[in-house]
Amino acid sequence: TDRKKLHTAPVGQVFRLRPFHVLVATGGGYAGYRKYEDYKLQQLEKRGVEVPVKLASEWEVALYKSVPTRLLSRAWGRLNQVELPTWLRKPVYSLYIWTFGVNMKEAAVEDLHHYRNLSEFFRRKLKPQARPVCCVHSVISPSDGKILNFGQVKNCEVEQVKGVTYSLESFLGPRISTEEMHFSQAPPSNSFQKQLVTKEGNELYHCVIYLAPGDYHCFHSPTDWTVSHRRHFPGSLMSVNPGVARWIKELFCHNERVVLTGDWKHGFFSLTAVGATNVGSIRIYFDQDLHTNSPSYSKGSYNDFSFISNNNKEGIPMRKGEHLGEFNLGSTIVLIFEAPKDFRFNLKAGQKIRFGEALGSL
């Protein structure tokens, strides 16, 4: 009779989980599983075993997208800005150097104590002689990285890796009005691909370069050209490593990206910087109005900025090798450009390349 009553809450209230928490936990676990699968694929590739393409289903893509990668990327960006104590800099940076194989002998400043935070370390400059720019070839690599794919654009489809394609129009967005472009109007055509080709006898080419976390994070102008327009697509920030690019069709169309378009001596030219997990920050040096990875955005939206109508009548001239922008961490650059039919790439799929080395020429 002296026992006290024990009041207990219903089991449903104790273990109540909100849908958001379930999505985050499930999506995070699945993302970890995919990382493990990517690792196994990389080991098979190193042994020379050809891996068949296996694309993700819609529910797998939706599950991956449920991971709050944009929020995590903003948090990572803020963490990068935190100034590290002098005694902690060398251990932290040395761990990163060891993990990703960074060659600090190429850095303009080799002393690790010089870099106050991770952001400064990621954006480190190279010694002037570390990346000589090839003057013979017409197009050079805008960055360090790995060649995922290259070749002619066919049937309005571009390969992100061998056997996995994405829509050219979905990637670049609707064609920019002729008044905003620096080159002449092409003959009317129903094909989006043909609309981009401004000179008779030319073809459209593409090249995809993947920047790993240990690569040099700045990118440069791949040729002499004039930037007329910028289009910014807010979007997801899924990983863009080769394993995921082989798994998710139109990955580059899902992710946040900045498309620079203009013209070079052979017609249309574009460079697209694709964001990825922890790479929400994409910076273009001459574009102070660009702000990537905002907390909110409308799905499927994009915003345009014309450098001809807003700044001058000539656009932004860029010289081959000139500094163009930077990523916060590794990511991907996609070149899509017009050139004569005798243009040839001097590449092999999967090869490592460094900024300044030749991509192709006439």
Phi-psi map region of 315: left, alpha, beta (phi>0 left; psi -120 to 50 alpha):
left
Active-site annotation holder among 73, 138, 236, 331:
331
Is 123 in contact with 77 (CB distance < 8 Å)? no
Cα angle vertex 249, ends 232, 60, to 5°?
A: 105
Q: Is 331 a catalytic residue?
A: yes
Backbone φ and ψ of 17, nearest 5°: -120, 135
Active-site annotation holder among 182, 206, 217, 220:
220
Q: 91: buried, middle or exposed (CB in 10 Å: 19+, 13-18, 0-12)?
A: exposed
| Token pair listed for 81 | 């800005």
Backbone φ and ψ of 111, nearest 5°: -70, 115
Q: Is 191 a catalytic residue?
A: no
Active-site annotation holder among 141, 144, 206, 254:
144
Q: Is 114 a catalytic residue?
A: no
Neighbours of 293 (CB within 10 A): 21
- Show which residues are catalytic: 144, 220, 331
